A and B are shown apart, each in its own frame.
Chain A
Amino acid sequence: MSTEARTATFTAADWSGGVLPYRVGHRKLGMWLFIVSDSLTFSALLMGYAYLRASNNWPTPFPFYPSIVFSTVMTFCLLSSSLTMVFGVSASSRGDKAGARKWILATIFFGVSFIVLHLIEWNHLISEGLRPFFLPEHWVKVFTTPDGIPPTPLFGATFFTITGLHMFHVASGAVYLGVVAARVKKLKHEDIEISGLYWHFVDLVWMFVFPLIYILSVDVGGHLAK
Chain B
Amino acid sequence: MSAHAHADEHFAGSNKLFISVWVWLLVLTGIEVFLAYKPIPIHFMLTILMGLSIIKAALIVAYFMHLKFERLSLVLTIVPMLVACICLLFVFFPDSFRSSGLRYKFKEQPPVQPQSSENP
Name A's B-contacting residues (CB within 8 A): 1-2, 5-6, 9-10, 14, 20-24, 29, 32-33, 36, 39-40, 43-44, 47, 50-52, 54-56, 64, 68, 72, 75-76, 79-80, 82-83, 85-87, 89-90, 93-95, 145-149, 188-190, 193, 196-197, 200-201, 203-204, 207-208, 210-212, 215-216, 218, 220
Contacts and interface: CB of A to CB of B under 8 A. Distances in A.
B64 A86 contact: yes
Contact of B71 (A22, A145, A146, A190): A22
Contacts of A80: 22
A89 B100 CA distance: 48
Contact of B96 (A5, A51, A200): A51
Contact of B74 (A24, A90, A190, A200): A24
Given A5-B70, A9-B76, 19 more contacts: A1-B9, A6-B72, A10-B73, A14-B73, A23-B5, A24-B71, A52-B96, A55-B97, A55-B100, A68-B36, A76-B26, A82-B64, A86-B13, A87-B18, A95-B7, A147-B107, A193-B6, A204-B57, A220-B36
B72 A9 contact: yes
Interface string B85-101: 11001101101110110
A188 B2 CA distance: 12
Nearest to B104: A149
Contacts of A36: 78, 81-82
Interface of B: 2-3, 5-13, 15, 18-19, 22, 25-26, 29, 32-33, 35-37, 39, 42, 45-46, 49-50, 52-53, 56-57, 60-61, 63-66, 69-74, 76-78, 81-82, 85-86, 89-90, 92-93, 95-97, 99-100, 103-104, 106-107, 110-111, 114, 117-118
Given A1-B9, A87-B18, A79 B25 contact: yes
Chain B interface, DSSP helix/strand/loop, else mixed: helix
Given A51-B96, A56-B100, A83-B22, A189 B7 contact: yes
A5 B9 contact: yes
A29 B50 CA distance: 28
A83 B52 CA distance: 19
Given A24-B70, A76-B26, A43 B53 contact: no
Contact of A93 (B7, B85, B106, B111): B7
A76 B69 CA distance: 26
Contact of B49 (A23, A79, A204, A216): A216
A149 B60 contact: no
A148 B56 CA distance: 40
Nearest to B22: A83
